[in-house]
Structure 1
Amino acid sequence: MLRLILVRHAKSSWSDPGLPDFDRPLAPRGRRAAAWLGEALHRRHLVPSLILCSPAVRTRETLVLSGMKGEVRFEPELYEDRDRDYLEILGNLDGAASPLALVGHNSAMAVTAARLTGGAAVGEFSTAAFAVIDVPAERWQELRAGQGTLVEYCVPPKE
């Protein structure tokens, strides 16, 4: 059994309209939510052995402020494929690292969760939210749409 933790980056800032999307940092609310995210994962004993993270500024900041521990790999495809899903990226992993955390973007987070679980609704996948999905496979290469079970979906508290 493999366990996947899908983590959407915390709320980013739009205060500098000339800043490229890739370089947008977290907003103050996002910084607080990233800290909540780390506490929520810790309370649930969700410690990833491997973390795949988009290299965008807001995902990197979310990762650092959450305090998630584990081997980190920055994967450009997580930013480039943010409007699709992440199943191909996961299926191309060599190995069985579990739990595996993936820190990325919407709409890919919502689509990935829905495709992997056969439609288990997580809605739009809020900023700083995370979904825990169990997959009955031994290696990530065996990953198939519809085979996952949504264990939990958590969103940060409203401010």
Structure 2
Amino acid sequence: MKTLTLLRHAKSTWDDPVARDFDRPLNPRGRRAARTVGAEMRSLGLGFDRVLASPARRVMETLGEVEGAFGRLGADYDERLYLASPTTLLDLVHATPDEVARLLLVGHNPGLEELALLLAGDGALRSEVAVKYPTATLAEIAFDIPWSEIAPGTGRLARFIRPRDLDPELGPDEDTH
């Protein structure tokens, strides 16, 4: 059994005058949402054998807040994850060594949402993803095949955790940042 978990970065700010999108920080609501999701991950007993993350500031800050509530994740930062397409993300999944049972990818939309929709078979949770994949949301997809064989529709969406489901004050997410 392989488990692919996709975590979208938390809500960032457009108020900070940074020169590049890559350097945008989280806003206070994003920090709170990331801590809330991290606490939920801990309470569910989630664990990961490998963590790959975009090196964008908002992703690094998201992981810092998640780790504050969850514990150390030990992410490897990979520039290919910055604003990655679902094709690039799937290439990273396919390249995962088979001894890794639980992979966490931390990055951006629309790539994460599109990958979740591509890989997950039918089901109620899939329809939730199709409606919206908000910031700081986690999707967990289970597979009964090796990483190299993962293809469209071969997974089962086991979890879809949005910050607003854990704390109503964290939703709805009105913008896409």
Give TM-score, length-normalised by structure 1: 0.91
Q: Which residue of 2 aligns with 1:104?
A: 107
Q: Separation in 2 of the partners of 1:128 and 1:134?
A: 20
Q: Which residue of 2 aligns with 1:19?
A: 19
Please state how far the C-alpha of 1:80 moved relative to its aligned partner.
4.4
Q: Is the 8 A contact 1:131 1:152 kept in 2?
A: yes
Deviations 1:86-126 (A, max 9, x none): 21221122333122111010001110000011462313211
Q: Which residue of 1 aligns with 2:172?
A: none
Please state how far the C-alpha of 1:140 moved relative to its aligned partner.
1.7
Establish whether residue 129 from structure 1 lines up as the match of residue 132 from structure 2: no
- Number of residue pairs aligned between Structure 1 and Structure 2: 158
The aligned amino acid for 2:157 is L
Q: Separation in 1 of the partners of 2:86 and 2:153?
A: 19
The aligned amino acid for 2:58 is R
Q: 2:96 aligns with which of 76, 79, 93?
A: 93
SS class of match (1:65):
helix
Q: Which residue of 2 aligns with 1:49?
A: 49
The aligned amino acid for 1:127 is T
Q: Which residue of 2 aligns with 1:140?
A: 147
Could you say if the C-alpha distance between residues 83 and 16 of structure 1 is closer, same or farther in structure 2, counting changes exceeding 3 Å? farther
Q: Higher helix share goes to which structure?
A: 2
Deviations 1:69-92 (A, max 9, x none): 344211111104257662122112
SS class of match (1:86):
helix
Q: Identity, % of aligned pairs?
A: 37
SS class of match (2:82):
helix
Q: Which runs of 5+ in 1 are unaligned?
A: none
Q: Which runs of 5+ in 2 are unaligned?
A: 170-177
**Aligned CA-pair RMSD:** 1.8
Q: Is the 8 A contact 1:51 1:101 kept in 2?
A: yes
Q: Is the 8 A contact 1:82 1:104 kept in 2?
A: no
Moved over 6 A (4+): none
